[in-house]
Amino acid sequence: MTVEFSFNGKKMTAGEGQSVAGALLACGQEELSRSSKYRRPRGVYCAHGHCPNCLVRVDGVPHVRSCLVPAGPGMRVETEGSAGKRFDVYRSLGVIGKFFPVGFQYRWFKRQNAAWRLWENQLRKLAAETEIPAPFDIPAGERLRADLLVVGAGPAGIAAAATAARSGLRVVLAGRRPRLGGSAAPAVASADLLQATEFVRSAENVTVVAPGTVVAGFGDQYVIDRGDRALEVTATASVLATGAYERAVAFPGNDRPGVLLTSGLHRLVCEDGVLTGARAVLVAEDDTAYRLAVDLQRAGLRIQAIVDSRPGPAVALPEGIEVLTGARVTGVRGRRRITGVAIGQRTIACDVVGMSGGWQRADELRYTVTSVGDAVVHGERATRIDPAGWENAPLPVLQGVGAVAGTMDADAAFTEGSLAGAWAAAQHTGGGNHG
Ligand code: FES
């Protein structure tokens, strides 16, 4: 089934459940926004709600992340700021920008009062990328009480929620994206994960808030941004299963539409079903590209090559894919669209580029919790579960499991999550160590 929506007044179609960003890409719309200063075009970058690249206006609501929102019938999608203008004089900054070193406005103008006052106004205009909508009533926040809040709906989060719920706990499971399961594609997810996902979806004692981003924690209270309203959850215990962010690789042109994180490329191809048949080059600084290349090939993306800056990867090479080791990308070819990547004198033709520069724990919520009064203790206790000795560990209030605790393997994360769920259940029934 397809749905029709509009983009800047033009009719577009989307597949069922496809994100707005995925649907736009399928219709050939790569540029979604522009950078504030040099007005450089921006396209989907992470496909996971972690960057400003895909911000658009949806039905008059500004700054909506189009990679997180499923396209709906009759939806009115518009670009914001410079991306929505036919002519923007500031785009010339992108051409003459090389004459202005990074941060020049602060170093130079800040020292000169009159010039700064003039420039400050311009900066404000440059940064104001969208019109503020007309005043509207802010919907009242909802409140919920739970025995356990699980933040993150990847393998670790789902396992924690399912295990705790099976023991009778009232669980709130919050995930940033509408789809549960994290980056584990349904095709390769383990039977345990699929079963647990099904269980949390249907269990009466589990409230799934997805999409729902936990934006702050105050002791045992957490605030979830649901997009159109806030939800305040008071939970006796919480499990942090927020995963990790993939890092970019530094090379000239890595910010252009069509160059994105390999995990984002994986989401677009394997979940949104776009870019099938396109040619891709994966730029690697860790083993992620090798792991995802097999999935991507299977889903229909044609991997031209993996360009790895390391002397040799520590994993088995995917069959039939050229791997260039000890090589670096020196540029991206193509004026309007990407047509290839340059590696020294050689150019490899492609339509899209994936980058894997390693992973960084998504643990900022932990620091939010630690910033509030007595909750400092909670943050310090946000430790990785030791599967052998968790019963004897001091009782943590905020447990970190899965990729946020450094466990990148989905099956191992699932096991950690199950242990955290069991810990929460034991605590609730008084069976755990309350020391
Ligand atoms: S938040 Fe949508 S592409 Fe990064």
pLDDT at 188: 59
Ligand 1 contact via 65 beta carbon (within 6 Å): yes
Closest ligand 1 atom to Cα of 45: 3
Ligand 1 contact via 253 beta carbon (within 6 Å): no
Ligand 1 contact via 46 beta carbon (within 6 Å): yes
The phi, psi pair for 225, rounded to 5°, reads -90, 115
How far does residue 41's CA lie from ligand 1's centre (Å)? 14
pLDDT at 124: 74
pLDDT at 372: 36
Tens digit of each residue's pLDDT (9 = 90 or more) over 227-255: 778 999 998 888 889 999 999 999 999 99
Collect the ranges in the chain with pLDDT lower than 70.
101-112, 128-129, 183-188, 313-314, 368-399, 430-435
List, in order of start, the domains of the chain with CATH numbers.
2-127 (3.10.20.440), 142-243+365-428 (3.50.50.60), 246-359 (3.50.50.60)
How far does residue 246's CA lie from ligand 1's centre (Å)? 12
CA 428 to chain centre: 32
The predicted model scores a pTM of: 0.85
Length, in residues, of the chain: 435
Residue 247's Cβ-count burial label (10 Å; 0-12, 13-18, 19+) is: middle
Ligand 1 contact via 265 beta carbon (within 6 Å): no
How far does residue 264's CA lie from ligand 1's centre (Å)? 8
Residue 133's Cβ-count burial label (10 Å; 0-12, 13-18, 19+) is: exposed
Pocket test for ligand 1, best of 30, 32, 50 (most atoms within 8 A of CB): 50
How far does residue 419's CA lie from ligand 1's centre (Å)? 32
pLDDT at 307: 96
How far does residue 435's CA lie from ligand 1's centre (Å)? 42
